[in-house]
């Protein structure tokens, strides 16, 4: 069987992902971003990327899977090895662009060393949201309309390489996800509603960006997302079927049901 390496960031996803794989991969954690509930086989720094790539080759790794949260790093010039330093003129321009542009540049580096980057759909499709109503509450006509509006907004923003989520209520957009992520966006909506808007309702839409390389940085939700949506007084969450990871699915669906939030996935 082809040996797999998991490049793991912070959060619960790497550990949950392991339960969906037929055998344990070589787990490589980015320093400063320890995966929850998981002991990595090795830890590396971005400034020492080429030694990691050579280690993977020596270990017989042929495929690489990325999972977990890693923010844009603050690089220490004094820690670069000469080979990794030589890559920086190719990677630094991507650091000033959107996430997808940066991740495509990272994928290209791994592929240059003969490693095939695979995605969640290849290795753990059961983690992805399937089409249909996921909980006990189906969306009503107003929620479906808000989800369609949110989808339109995200499709429009996709060429700018920004946003995997937005919030729409009554056809009006309340927020679009920026670099700080879904939790920050929902906290902003909750705080704004507390100050200005007594009404409740609205839908969180989570989708991969149109044209995004689906091997890395798929959008994800989990129990904490449901809690944040409830605090923001939303009534629905619409996911893109086959493109959004659901962490701890049983707890996530149960939390949505308990909050009366319609949770569904659409093509």
pLDDT by residue for the chain (267 residues), tens digit each?
579 999 999 999 999 999 999 999 999 999 999 999 999 999 999 899 999 999 999 999 999 999 998 877 788 889 999 999 998 888 777 776 667 777 888 899 999 999 999 999 999 999 999 999 999 999 999 999 999 999 999 999 988 877 799 999 999 999 999 888 899 999 999 998 877 666 779 999 999 988 888 898 899 999 999 999 999 999 999 999 999 999 999 999 999 999 999 999 998
Same-domain status, 119 and 67: yes
The CATH number of the domain where 203 resides is what? 3.40.140.80
Can you give the three-state secondary structure of the chain, one letter per residue? CCEEEEEECEECHHHHHHCCCCCCCEEEEECCCCECCCCCCEEECHHHHHHHHHHHHHCCEEEEEEECECCCCCCCHHHCCHHHHHHHHHHHHHHCCCHHHHHHHHHHHHHHCCCEEECHHHHCHHHECCCEECCCCCCCHHHHHHHHHHHHHHHHHHHHCCCCEEEEECCEEEEECCCCCHHHHHHHHHHHHHHHCCCCCCEEEECCCCCCCCCCCCCEECHHHHHHHHHCCCCEEEEECCCCEECCHHHHHHHHHHHCCEEEEEC
CATH of the domain at 29: 3.40.50.20
182 and 251 fall within a common domain: yes
Write down which residue in 99, 123, 147 finishes a domain. 123
Res 178: pLDDT: 86
| Burial call 161-193: b when 16+ CB within 10 Å, e when fewer | bbbbbbbbbeeebbbbbeeeebeebbebbbeeb
pLDDT at 231: 95
The reply to whether 80 and 169 lie within a common domain is no
- Quick one: 138 and 97 in the same domain? no
**The pLDDT of residue 89:** 83
pLDDT of res. 197: 66
Q: Which residues pair with 236 in a beta bridge?
A: 203, 262
Residue 55 and residue 137 share a domain: no
- Tokens found for residue 17: 């992902």
Report yes or no: 135 and 263 within 8 Å, Cβ to Cβ: yes
Same-domain check for residues 22 and 44: yes
Q: What is the pLDDT of residue 1?
A: 59
Domain of residue 66 covers: 3-123
pTM of the model: 0.89
Residues 114 and 214 in one domain: no
pLDDT at 7: 96
In 3D space, the residue among 148, 255, 166 whose CA is nearest the CA of residue 219 turns out to be 166
Q: Do 105 and 134 belong together in one domain?
A: no
Domain identity same for 113 and 183: no
Bridge-based pairing state of the strands 172-176 and 165-169:
antiparallel
Single out the residue of 258, 264, 251 nearest to residue 203, CA to CA.
Answer: 264
Same domain, 42 and 117: yes
Residues 135 and 13 in one domain: no
Give the domain-ending residue among 84, 99, 123.
123
143 lies in the same domain as 77: no
Structural domain count of the chain: 2
Instruction: Choose the final residue of a domain: 123, 138, 153.
Output: 123
Distance between CA 200 and CA 189 in Å, rounded?
11
């Amino acid at each position: 069987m082809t040996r797999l390496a998991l490049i793991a960031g912070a959060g619960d996803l790497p550990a949950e992902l392991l339960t969906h794989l037929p055998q344990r991969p070589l787990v490589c954690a980015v320093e400063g971003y320890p995966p929850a509930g998981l002991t990595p086989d090795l830890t590396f720094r971005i400034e020492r990327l080429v030694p990691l790539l050579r280690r993977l080759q020596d270990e017989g790794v042929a495929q690489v899977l990325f999972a977990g949260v890693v923010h844009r790093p603050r690089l220490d010039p004094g820690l670069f090895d000469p080979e990794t330093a030589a890559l920086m003129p190719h990677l630094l321009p991507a650091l000033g662009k959107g996430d997808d542009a940066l991740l495509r540049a990272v994928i290209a580096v791994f592929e240059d060393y003969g490693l095939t980057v695979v995605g969640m759909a290849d290795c753990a499709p059961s983690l992805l949201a399937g089409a249909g109503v996921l909980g006990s509450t189906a969306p009503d006509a107003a929620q479906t309309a808000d989800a369609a509006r949110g989808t339109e907004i995200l499709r429009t923003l996709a060429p700018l390489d920004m946003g995997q989520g937005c919030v729409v209520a009554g056809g009006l957009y309340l927020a679009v996800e920026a670099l700080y992520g879904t939790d920050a966006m929902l906290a902003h909506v909750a705080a704004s509603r507390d100050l200005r808007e007594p009404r409740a309702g609205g839908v969180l839409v989570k989708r991969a960006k149109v044209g995004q390389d689906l091997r890395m940085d798929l959008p994800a939700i989990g129990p904490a997302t449901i809690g944040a949506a409830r605090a923001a007084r939303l009534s629905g969450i619409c996911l893109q079927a086959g493109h959004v990871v659901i962490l701890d699915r049983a707890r996530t669906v149960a939390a949505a049901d308990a909050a009366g939030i319609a949770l569904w996935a659409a093509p």
